Structure 1
Amino acid sequence: MSKVQESIDVDVPVRVVYDQWTSFERFPEFMEGVEEVRQLDDLHAHWKTKIAGLSREFETEFTERIPDERVSWRTTTEDVKHTGMVSLEPIDATHTRVSMTMDFQPTGFAEKAADKLGVLERMVRGDLRRFKHFVEEHGVDPGTRGDGPGTGA
């Protein structure tokens, strides 16, 4: 197993960050290689990715969703193995630290080589930078609440 850990500070309140992060269908707007995320129910999502020419489809199960604090997941398909967590830490009333941790099992020559070269770390770092820009630009999007009604907007 390999591990990636990255963090970034964003200039929006923790509630806004959580609301945007749990709008999983919007991930393709800021995540490199993610073509589609479709939330199937409160606990499951279906993903379509294409990274370095390799297309994959897999499902994840949310193992923990604590509003304004963290979202954890694991894959439920055999050919893609990873777990992850995004934790949110309020810095003050208008700033939040977003930290992502992923454990993954590279398979095949290409994935193992990419792992050795640090490709996933760079992708996660880039995804967090794009998320920072995305959430600071979009703020609260009414109706995208990931865990129920009301956003304070």
Structure 2
Amino acid sequence: MHSVEETIGIAVPVSTAYNQWTQFTGFPRFMRVVKRVDQVRPALTTWTVAAGPVRREFQAETVEQEPDSHVVWRSLGRRPVHRGEVTFRPGAAGGTEMSVRIDIEPRGVTGVLAGLADRVVRDELRHFKEYVEGLGEETGAWRGTIHGGRVRPEEPKPHRSRVARWPVG
């Protein structure tokens, strides 16, 4: 297993960085290797990535997602086999410290590509930083929660009546 870990400071609030990251279909706007992302369901995406002459399509399942905290995913199918996590924490001066960890199972050609993953992740994270800082705000947001690959229903908000209650007693 080859692991890649990168952390970067981004000069936007955590909620802005998180909200923009959840806009998976927009990744081709700032990531050079991501050519297309289709959001099949809230916890399932189809990715087309290309580096040089190598082009791959795969599905990824979001396993865990907590607003303003983290997103954990895993690829489905045989290749490329990888798992990843991105975390968001408050950083200096109201910004965000964003960390990405990707574990890649090297097999055949993907074994060769695993060696390039360090540079690709670092470069793509820098592109995300430039993109979201340049915008200054997110282009959208998905604030849902996913646990165990399942979208959790939103917690009902308590109803607050304006009618005075009589004291019990």
Task: State the TM-score, normalizing by the size of structure 2.
Answer: 0.80
Aligned length, in residue pairs: 144
In the alignment, which of 127, 136, 140 is matched to residue 137 of structure 2?
140
Q: Please list the CA deviations of residues 27-70 of structure 1 after superposition, one character each: whole Å capped at 9, or x if unmatched.
A: 11222211001111111000011123111111000001100000
Q: Please list the CA deviations of residues 78-132 of structure 1 after superposition, one character each: whole Å capped at 9, or x if unmatched.
A: 2220000000011256210010000011222x433343xx411011000111111
Matches within 5 A, 1:1-150: 1-92=1-92, 94-108=94-108, 110-115=109-114, 118-142=115-139, 144-147=140-143
Q: Decide which structure has the larger Cα Rg and report it.
A: 2
Alpha-carbon separation, structure 2, partners of 1:92 and 1:14: 11
**Are residues 76 and 113 of structure 1, via their aligned partners in 2, closer, same or farther at CA, if it must alter by over 3 Å?**
closer
Alpha-carbon separation, structure 2, partners of 1:82 and 1:61: 11
Alpha-carbon separation, structure 2, partners of 1:37 and 1:83: 17
Whether the 8 Å CA contact 1:13–1:93 is kept in 2: the answer is no
Identity of aligned residues (%): 36
Alpha-carbon separation, structure 1, partners of 2:136 and 2:33: 23
In structure 2, stretches of 5+ residues that fail to align are: 145-169
Deviation of 1:21 after TM superposition, in Å, equals: 0.3
* Residue type at the aligned position of 1:37: V
Alpha-carbon separation, structure 2, partners of 1:105 and 1:133: 29
SS of corresponding position for 1:121: helix
Structure with larger RCO (C-alpha < 8 A, sep 6+): 1
Whether the 8 Å CA contact 1:19–1:140 is kept in 2: the answer is no
SS of corresponding position for 1:100: strand
Alpha-carbon separation, structure 1, partners of 2:79 and 2:92: 41
